[in-house]
Amino acid sequence: MNRDDVLEPLLFENSKPGRADDYLPKLDVPEAPLPGEHVRDDLPLPEVSEPDVVRHFTRLSQLNFGIDTNFYPLGSCTMKYNPKINEATARLPGFAWLHPYQDESTIQGALRLMHELQEILAEIAGLPAVTLEPAAGAHGELTGMLIIRAYHVHNGDTHRKYVLVPDSAHGTNPATATMCGYEVIEIPSDERGNMDPEAIEAAVNDEVAGLMLTNPSTLGLFEEHICEITEMVHEAGGLVYCDGANMNALLGVARQGELGCDVLHYNLHKTFSTPHGGGGPGAGATAVSETLEPFLPIPVVARNADGYCFDFDRPHSIGRVRAFYGNFGNMVRGYTYIRRQGRGGLEAVSRNAVLNANYLRAKLQDTYHLPYDRSCMHEVVLSGKRQAEQGAQTLDIAKRLLDLGFHAPTIYFPLIVEEALMIEPTETESRETLDAFAEAMLEIAREAAETPEIVTEAPHNTPVSRLDEVTAARKPNLRWNSAAD
């Protein structure tokens, strides 16, 4: 391969034996004989000097967009600013260098933080019991649905084999239901973008374990019949799981427990601003009703006369969903953020997130099709179908935005909106940034009408042009191999 065709050589291509620096101290004890039959004879890992390592990763970083470099309105992902103080507190040695099997008496500060975070998340959800163990949102979903299953099994109610999932749901919801052994019944949305109460009424019965909903929905809309629907599910003996992906809209606006939800997962990395890291680590704390509290995974953090402790003595627990106690480092970040914001700050978060999304809606809805003409919550879902008719698809619009210095919104999701553009500005963006983004969207619409090839051939000034995904999938190349292989 020609070097000009390579943005940055791979580590393996920069490797030369003997180049790696030495970081570790000399051996200060006698050598023991190595277990000869078990010792590997080759370890073909790259050898690169430290200056080259730093340059390699720094150059690679410069090929990325992040929140720190660009507006990143990726719908449903809540790409808000990640405060630097959170990184500082998570790196305090008294948090970063705790071993999970230390004696509880030596980690009282950490346990206090976890206990307080449990209480705060319970208060926001209006659901009294919380586990911090799930490692991500989808992991919280799995935890929540296993809890619902355990509740039914505990009641001898083993014939419930269906879970209702709206057609606008994240793909994780039906995938989770399957992992829990359930069959999915899809619930259609009505013409206002709500779950259709009539469809729910027709679907609920004593074979339905529960409903997995998202509120605000992935359409960025508040479910208008939420209380009626959760009541219907409860009357049929089912439980309601709420996907908390969109909790950024509801802090101090409504408690999911008061809307009839029995389980709610949070994405600490969305709502409470822990960094997304290029795709994880997240943290998926999950809150449940009093009825479901006995089924929480072990351990939960409790408080007794001696101080804070892990409570393992929970006979009805679903068990562990993860080794140890969850993504503690992200709990420190989320807790720091919550304490910094306080009640008033968190209320302002959701109010401003919703204000910003509606502002973009107002600026764009005359040019882009608005499939559901009502106020939105923290994100607005538009359709690029007018532009598609002119020859520029939503994918093209997304790529053109990259040229103009903006990360693209989430596209082609939710599946029920044709040519969907799901835009979540978050509260941490200024009016000026929103104006610049709206202007870019309007400019692209003009281009789509007048010079569509500028849009369809985009991006023009990113590090690479459009990549061949078809060949990538047909002939998978998932690792580097030396030419000799």
Partner 1 sequence: MSYIPNTEQDQRAMLETIGVEAIEDLFDVVPEQARFPRLGLPAGMSEVEVGQLLQDMAAENVHVRQQASFLGAGVYHHYAPAVVDAILQRGEFLTAYTPYQAEVSQGTLTTIYEFQTLIATLAGMEVANASMYDGSTALAEAVLMAARITRRDKVVLSQGVHPEYCDVVRTYVQGLELPVEEVAYDATTGLTTVTDVEAALSDEPACLVVGYPNFFGGIEDLAAMAELAHEAGALLITVVNPIALGLLKPPGSLGADIVVGEGQPLGVPLQLGGPYLGMFATRKKHMRQMPGRLIGQTTDQDGRRGYVMTLQAREQHIRREKATSNICTNEALVALASTIYLATMGGSGLRRAAELCYHKAHYAADRIESLDGYELVFSTPFFHEFAVRLPAPPRDVNAALRERGMMGGYDLGRRYNGLKDAMLFCVTEMNTRDQIDDLVDALVQISIR
Compute CA distances 210 → 129, 193, 223, 227, 253, whole Å.
19, 21, 17, 15, 25
Nearer to partner 1, 234 or 449 (CB): 234
Nearer to partner 1, 101 or 484 (CB): 101
In the complex, least distance from residue 196 CB atom to partner 1, rounded to whole angstroms = 16
Q: Cα–Cα distance between 1 and 6 in angstroms, integer? A: 8
Query: Is residue 450 exposed (0-12), middle (13-18) or buried (19+ Cβ within 10 Å)?
Result: exposed
In the complex, least distance from residue 392 CB atom to partner 1, rounded to whole angstroms = 16
In the complex, least distance from residue 180 CB atom to partner 1, rounded to whole angstroms = 4
Nearer to partner 1, 44 or 315 (CB): 44
Amino acid at 231: E
Q: Where are the alpha helices (DSSP H) in 404-430?
A: none
Nearer to partner 1, 90 or 445 (CB): 90
Nearer to partner 1, 342 or 391 (CB): 342
Nearer to partner 1, 226 or 423 (CB): 226
In the complex, least distance from residue 31 CB atom to partner 1, rounded to whole angstroms = 5
Compute CA distances 481 → 11, 471, 484, whole Å.
12, 18, 8
Compute CA distances 274 → 77, 353, 357, 369, 437, whole Å.
12, 17, 21, 33, 24
Burial of 409-428, coded b for 16+ CB within 10 Å and e otherwise, reads bbbbbbebbebbbbbbbbbb
In the complex, least distance from residue 87 CB atom to partner 1, rounded to whole angstroms = 7
Q: What is the number of other CB atoms lying within 10 angstroms of the CB of residue 239?
A: 28
In the complex, least distance from residue 324 CB atom to partner 1, rounded to whole angstroms = 3
Nearer to partner 1, 259 or 449 (CB): 259
**Helix 431-450 vs helix 394-403: crossing angle, to nearest 10:** 120
Order of strands, edge to edge, in the sheet holding 410-411? 380-383, 420-423, 410-411
Is the C-alpha dihedral spanning 134, 137, 139, 145 positive or negative?
positive
Q: Cα–Cα distance between 146 and 318 in angstroms, integer? A: 7
Closest CA to 424 of 374, 345, 360: 360
Q: Cα–Cα distance between 236 and 230 in angstroms, integer? A: 10
In the complex, least distance from residue 407 CB atom to partner 1, rounded to whole angstroms = 6
DSSP run (H or E) holding 362: helix 328-364
Q: Give the CB-side neighbour count of residue 349, counting CA atoms within 13 A.
A: 23
In the complex, least distance from residue 179 CB atom to partner 1, rounded to whole angstroms = 6
Nearer to partner 1, 155 or 480 (CB): 480
In the complex, least distance from residue 96 CB atom to partner 1, rounded to whole angstroms = 4
In the complex, least distance from residue 9 CB atom to partner 1, rounded to whole angstroms = 10
Nearer to partner 1, 200 or 338 (CB): 338
Instruction: Find the distance separating the first CA and the last CA of the chain, reported in whole Å.
Output: 16
Nearer to partner 1, 28 or 191 (CB): 28
